[in-house]
């Protein structure tokens, strides 16, 4: 059974600081997704990582995937308040986009 673990589950950080969210998963997969969710809103796709060593960047967020270590990271550079949200990683269980989600990381950026 595929399990996806994120840590930390809650992150409070100062504006301008850097931090990393980690996503570990238990069985082999080569497709990993990162989503953002604002309170009361749906999930917004951030990144789709499709191969070992994949790295994608958008603004202050950068995601990477190491399929051998079964680890993905979401790195936040020089955090700003607008990045406050809950971030989810999800791993494709098998053919057909059957995603298994992590518990989510609640990020709060303080001024």
Partner 1 sequence: ETGVTQTPRHLVMGMTNKKSLKCEQHLGHNAMYWYKQSAKKPLELMFVYSLEERVENNSVPSRFSPECPNSSHLFLHLHTLQPEDSALYLCASSQGRGNTIYFGEGSWLTVV
The smaller minimum CB distance to partner 1, of residues 43 and 71, is found at 43
The smaller minimum CB distance to partner 1, of residues 45 and 52, is found at 45
The smaller minimum CB distance to partner 1, of residues 8 and 16, is found at 8
Q: Which residues contact 73 (CB under 8 A, 6 or more apart)?
A: 20, 21, 22, 23, 63, 64
Which x/- pattern, by CB under 8 A, does the window 18-57 give for partner 1? -------------x-x-x-----xxxxx--x-x-------
- Minimum Å gap between C-beta 36 and partner 1 is 11
The smaller minimum CB distance to partner 1, of residues 31 and 79, is found at 31
Spell out the SS3 assignment of the chain.
CCCEEEECCEEEEECCCCEEEEEEECCCCCCEEEEEECCCCCEEEEEEECCCCCEEEECCEEEEEECCCCEEEEEECCCCHHHCEEEEEEEECCCCCCEEECCCEEEEEEC
Other beta carbons within 10 Å of 71:
14
Q: Which of residues 72-111 bind partner 1 (CB under 8 A)?
A: 88, 90, 92, 95-104
- Minimum Å gap between C-beta 48 and partner 1 is 6
- Interface with partner 1 by CB under 8 A: which residues? 4, 31, 33, 35, 41-45, 48, 50, 88, 90, 92, 95-104
């Amino acid at each position: 059974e595929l399990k996806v673990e994120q840590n930390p589950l809650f992150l409070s950080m100062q504006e301008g600081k850097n931090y990393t969210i980690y996503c570990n998963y238990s069985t082999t997969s080569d497709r990993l997704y990162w989503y953002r969710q604002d309170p009361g809103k749906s999930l917004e796709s951030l990144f789709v990582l499709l191969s070992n060593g994949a790295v994608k960047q958008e603004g202050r967020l950068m995601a990477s995937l190491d399929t051998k270590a079964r680890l993905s990271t979401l790195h936040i550079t020089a955090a700003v308040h607008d990045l406050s949200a809950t971030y989810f990683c999800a791993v494709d269980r098998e053919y057909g986009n059957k995603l298994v989600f992590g518990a989510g990381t609640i990020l709060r950026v303080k001024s």
